[in-house]
Amino acid sequence: MNELNELTGLPNSPAKYIVGIGASAGGLEAIEAFFKKMPANSGLAFVVVQHLSPDYKSLMVELLSKHTEMPVNRIEDGVLVKENNIYLLPPRKNLSSFHGRLLLTEQDHSEGLNLPIDIFFRSLAEDMGEFAISVVLSGTGSDGTRGIRAIKERGGMVMVQDDETAKFDGMPKNAIATGLADFILSPDEMPKQLLSFVKHPYASTPETGEFQGDDSDLTRIFLMLREKSKVDFTYYKPSTVLRRIERRVTINQLQDLSEYVRFLQNNPNEVATLFQELLIGVTCFFRDELAFDELRDK
């Protein structure tokens, strides 16, 4: 594929950040409100997964193009995700991300309910890691709720529409109930916050596992965590702990760990939030059928 790209002159590097947007009933209005406020040169790429009837002739490309200067594309199998572009899922398809390319498969309803947003969010989390961003907008049901857990496990960021602004609040309410949402906002408030997040120095710093800053700040954070939760995180995996602390600094739009220490001292709820963030673990075990077969048999 790379050789082909070199021959044709096509770029072979995907966008740094991919924003997955999940919506269902009432989602069109929310999607339009979101893109009205999103600059055309944000440097982000957007993949929209919306529940559509199999027989529905989608006019989303035409409708959405009226509200943004970004190119709006119907997804074609294997397309490379490029920054400052919007990609729309066609009906009757599921979507996966692999090395920044979008791969389509036929939906399979033989095993029950199909959840295309969860499927894409999980794939996006595995492919993009901390550069994956998920947005859950208006819709019924709970699609997206499992997917945002995968996004958080891999260090990505989660935004959810404020359920009071959603035309249908099932999906937002279920996502909010997980406690995993970094931001809960109306769609027109999301772009500004999203851009502030990706432009923060900590958001773009590669994970090194080394602490950059004053050790006393980290010690104070661990002390507050222990006093609040009775758990000492000092000897937990350093790279994971440091990255998730840095993510909370970014989420709260603070400059550094010293400022975050002061923020924690004045906001006890943030200590509880950080504690929960540090407890988010990769749940591979719970998806391991062999482990559960062993548990059941023995």
Active site residues: 24, 51, 143
* Count of C-beta atoms within a 10 Å radius of residue 107: 15
Cα 227 to Cα 275: distance, rounded to the nearest angstrom? 11
Question: How many Cα atoms within 13 Å fall on the side-chain side of residue 96?
Answer: 10
- Assigned token pair, 10: 């096509």
Cα 120 to Cα 95: distance, rounded to the nearest angstrom? 5
Residue 271 contacts residue 224 (beta carbons within 8 Å): yes
Helix (H, G, I), strand (E, B) or coil at 260: helix
Determine the straight-line distance between the first and last CA of the chain, rounded to whole angstroms: 48
Contacts of 211 (CB under 8 A, 6+ apart): 218, 238, 242
- Phi, psi dihedral angles at 119 (to 5 degrees): -60, -45
Residue 21 contacts residue 120 (beta carbons within 8 Å): no
